[in-house]
Amino acid sequence: MSKNTNVTWHESSLTKELRRKQNGHESTVLWFTGLSGSGKSTIANAVAKELYNRNIRSYVLDGDNIRHGLNKDLGFSEEDRTENIRRIGEVSKLFVDSGQFVLTAFISPFRADRKIVRDLLAEGEFIEVYIKCPIEECEVRDPKGLYDKARKGIIKDFTGIDSPYEEPEQPEIILESNRYSVEECVEQVISFLTAKRAI
């Protein structure tokens, strides 16, 4: 619901297409989703590094980092997670407009929220990357000790424990991070972008 009534959209003569042409590549969102510890940050940053090595402009938006700044007013209730993803969807759209790839690493547990972001973008601009990893494996990895705290009841509403995660139904890419190495997962993403002629 918008509170703004007296605002007018200002068109820019520098279009998304011109910015893409200058950069020499497409711009899309690579929307990484998955449980905590599934590998979203690790793989998103590794893909960004590979893109950088190929002179392709990209930027990573990471849940933990964004919650230190832009979204530090949000917690982990359903409403706050939805608002978190809504804002990141809008920011992602700006990155796409600027002619860059944006890699987002948010649990984004709700299908409806991810669909809202998909619908915000043009056809083909939203690439959903599902990091599929069994919760048992995420719990063994537990890179931040959060599963341990959640099991002990120190953290409430923890995704996969006492807060739901809705698996993507038709993601563009599935990365099984318990079966393939980080390098193999990166290769899978790069192959997808190459086949799409996005890079």
Ligand X SMILES: Nc1ncnc2c1ncn2[C@@H]1O[C@H](COP(=O)(O)OS(=O)(=O)O)[C@@H](OP(=O)(O)O)[C@H]1O
User: Site residues (CB under 6 A) for ligand X?
Assistant: 36-37, 40-41, 63-64, 67, 76, 81, 84-85, 106-109, 144, 146, 155, 157-159, 163
Q: How far is the CB of 108 from ligand X (least distance, A)?
A: 4
d(CA 37, CA 198): 28
Beta bridge partners of 104: 31, 61
Tell me if residue 108 is catalytic.
yes
Q: DSSP string spanning 33-58?
A: E--TTSSHHHHHHHHHHHHHHTT--E
Give which of 30, 23, 35, 17 is closest to 139, Cα–Cα.
Answer: 35
Q: Does 174 bind ligand ADP (CB under 6 A)?
A: no
Q: How far is the CB of 118 from ligand ADP (least distance, A)?
A: 20
Q: Which of 58, 92, 108, 177 is the catalytic position?
A: 108
CB 59 within 8 A of CB 95: yes
Q: Does 43 bind ligand ADP (CB under 6 A)?
A: yes
Q: Does 143 bind ligand ADP (CB under 6 A)?
A: yes
Q: Does 177 bind ligand ADP (CB under 6 A)?
A: yes
